[in-house]
């Protein structure tokens, strides 16, 4: 590690002293208090969990903070069985807050888990063949991949490589097994072995990475995982129905701190072409360059995107080649040009079908209006489909026989679950992060606010004749950007209590950053500002131009003038 040890951030010191992520978590689990101490809160992220405070419930009961844990699973490529999915529903009912969240990175989050229930929840997830290790923390997190089930070799190759990368780049510490998968005396291991207590981390070392690390794999015609927003993006290059290699894209990331001008969202840069046999070792080399040269003094600028931006892509590539041990080829001309969200019915190629069910903002629940959980249990019980999670917080049922298609839709309708065909385009392509009340970073509402905003936008869009246009609208409760608002056509980002920054000019393809259109917009004015943008787009668009492309072409100042002048519906 190149950084002077005297200048390390506080989190670096916590990792260094943690004995490969053990800390004093084991002791704190046994203590009769409802929360963990600040050092262990940092280490628990590596184990897949965040400590949270429900601000809606704060002050009730004991009168203090309402502590609970959010637990995130690691599901490479978003692929899991019906039994694994149902097990998560069981956990959210018995140990969580009775709802489940499908995330923007093809995995599942359980909320409202009390400290005393954390160990049995993690143990159960491992019993069903999944894990929470490295779902969070300063390590390579859940690896994303196009979730479509197809019989062609291309998708099979990509999805297998996605799984292989997840295994190859996972932490090796046995602290996870010791803490969560043994009895209180540490005698019974539920999953895997338990070699020597202080096993080393051959890839990560004692302090792991300077910051979180994300990877995704996509096809040029289907960038459904937002390739350019990841630390490493792998674009599959296909020739004659065979993956011959991958264009490697490095240095993407969404998070920013508005008060710190040194921070910014950045899209990845094209670095090199690698063969399938080279992929894992090159990815390890990239990770090691970030491990050894990333900023460990200031976590605000510790993501690999800043290293790539500061060095430039050529210098960064040279370091990767040194770690890898040989020169790399240049990228092919291939780049992203399409996006399939895989919603609705799609043929798999084997006589069976998949059905993509759009789940607004990824929240799965039962209430007196809609019974998502009950419907999904019924579908899984009757058809036992393989489940695929998407990067747009939705899910795909796979392996449905043609004769069962009507029955699957009937089950959903019987439980008042809206089917994908009933969604407006703006709602279908929207996303929101969790935000309030549980996320500790949230400044404003997001998941609970976006549906209402869209309710007020659907009629004006229809009157303007834009209701069939496809564009992305994404909302987050803080600038950390978990729902990827900075490369969407329109983005809404929480800035202060009840106020947002409105972004414009990104792209559904995810390959263009947006700009700040207006700052500190009150929540009750967002609808009017967005409708004005739609009106300007309707009057001034070029033939075939997208909403984001129009906003990018005219720029902020002209967009404001055009929006003010355009007749409103």
> What residues are labeled active site?
72, 141, 212, 214, 433, 439, 478, 482
Distance (Å, rounded) from C-alpha 211 to C-alpha 302? 6
| Long-range CB contacts for residues 344-347, cutoff 8 Å, separation at least 24 | 344/420, 344/421, 345/405, 346/148
| 308-342: burial string, b at 16+ Cβ within 10 Å, e else | bbebebeebbebbbebbeeebeebbebbbeebebb
**Beta 430-432 vs 395-400: how paired, if at all?**
unpaired
346, burial (CB in 10 Å: exposed 0-12, middle 13-18, buried 19+):
middle
Tokens coding 83: 């039994």
Alpha helices by DSSP H, 393-519: 405-414, 425-428, 450-463
With residue 294 as reference, give the H or E element that holds it. Answer: none
Report residue 234: phi and psi, to 5°.
-115, 110
DSSP SS3 for 231: coil
Distance (Å, rounded) from C-alpha 541 to C-alpha 496? 33
Distance (Å, rounded) from C-alpha 563 to C-alpha 521? 15
| 475-496: burial string, b at 16+ Cβ within 10 Å, e else | bbbbbbbbbbbbbbbbbbbbbe
Distance (Å, rounded) from C-alpha 350 to C-alpha 352? 5
Its sign, for the CA torsion 302, 303, 306, 308, is positive
Q: How many residues does the chain have?
A: 569
């Amino acid at each position: 590690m190149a950084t002077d040890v005297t200048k390390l951030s506080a989190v670096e010191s916590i990792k260094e002293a943690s004995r490969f992520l053990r800390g004093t978590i084991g002791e704190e689990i046994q203590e009769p208090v409802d929360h963990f101490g600040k050092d262990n809160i940092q280490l628990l992220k590596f184990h897949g969990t965040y400590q949270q405070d429900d601000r809606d419930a704060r002050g009730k009961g004991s009168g203090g903070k309402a502590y609970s844990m959010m637990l995130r699973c690691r599901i490479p490529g978003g692929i899991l069985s019906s039994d694994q999915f149902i097990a998560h529903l069981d956990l959210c009912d018995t140990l969580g807050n009775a709802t489940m969240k499908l995330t923007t990175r093809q995995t599942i989050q359980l909320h409202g888990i009390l400290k005393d229930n954390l160990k049995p929840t993690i143990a159960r997830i491992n019993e069903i063949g999944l894990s929470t290790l490295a779902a969070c923390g300063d390590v390579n997190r859940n690896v994303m991949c196009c979730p479509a089930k197809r019989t062609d070799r291309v998708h099979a190759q990509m999805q297998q490589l996605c799984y292989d990368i997840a295994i190859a780049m996972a932490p090796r510490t046995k602290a996870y097994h010791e803490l969560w998968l043994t009895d209180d005396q540490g005698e019974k291991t539920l999953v895997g072995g338990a070699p020597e207590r202080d096993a080393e981390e051959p890839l990560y070392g004692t302090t792991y990475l300077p910051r979180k690390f994300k990877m995704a794999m996509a096809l040029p015609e289907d960038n459904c995982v937002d390739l350019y927003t990841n630390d490493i993006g792998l674009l599959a290059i296909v020739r004659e129905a065979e993956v011959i290699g991958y264009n490697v894209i490095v240095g993407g990331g969404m998070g920013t701190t508005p008060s710190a001008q040194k921070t910014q969202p950045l899209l990845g840069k094209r670095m090199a072409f690698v063969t399938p046999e080279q992929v894992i070792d090159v990815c390890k080399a990239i990770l090691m360059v970030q491990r050894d040269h990333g900023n460990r003094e200031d976590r605000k600028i510790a993501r690999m995107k800043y290293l790539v931006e500061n060095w430039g892509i050529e210098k960064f590539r040279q370091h990767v080649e040194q770690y890898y041990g040989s020169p790399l080829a240049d990228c092919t001309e291939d780049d992203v040009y399409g996006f399939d969200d895989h919603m609705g019915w799609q043929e798999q190629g084997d006589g069976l079908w998949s059905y993509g069910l759009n789940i607004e903002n990824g929240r799965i629940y039962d209430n007196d209006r809609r019974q998502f959980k009950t419907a999904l249990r019924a579908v899984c019980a009757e058809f036992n489909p393989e489940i695929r999670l998407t990067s747009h917080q939705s899910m795909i049922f796979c392996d449905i026989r043609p004769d069962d298609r009507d029955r699957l839709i009937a089950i959903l309708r019987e439980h008042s679950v809206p089917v994908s065909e009933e969604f407006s385009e703006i709602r279908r392509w929207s996303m929101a992060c969790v935000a309030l009340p549980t996320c500790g970073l949230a400044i404003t509402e997001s998941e609970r606010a976006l549906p209402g905003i869209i309710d007020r936008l659907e009629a004006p869009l229809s009157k303007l004749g834009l209701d069939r246009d496809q564009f992305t609208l994404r909302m987050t409760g803080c600038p950390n950007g978990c729902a990827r608002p900075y490369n969407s056509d329109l983005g809404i980002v929480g800035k202060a209590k009840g106020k947002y920054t409105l972004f414009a000019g990104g792209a559904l393809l995810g390959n263009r950053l947006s700009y700040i259109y207006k700052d500190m917009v009150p929540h009750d004015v967002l609808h009017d500002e967005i409708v004005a943008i739609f009106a300007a787009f309707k009057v001034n668009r070029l033939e075939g131009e997208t909403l984001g492309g129009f906003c990018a072409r005219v720029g902020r100042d002209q967009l404001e003038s055009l929006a003010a002048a355009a007749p409103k519906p």
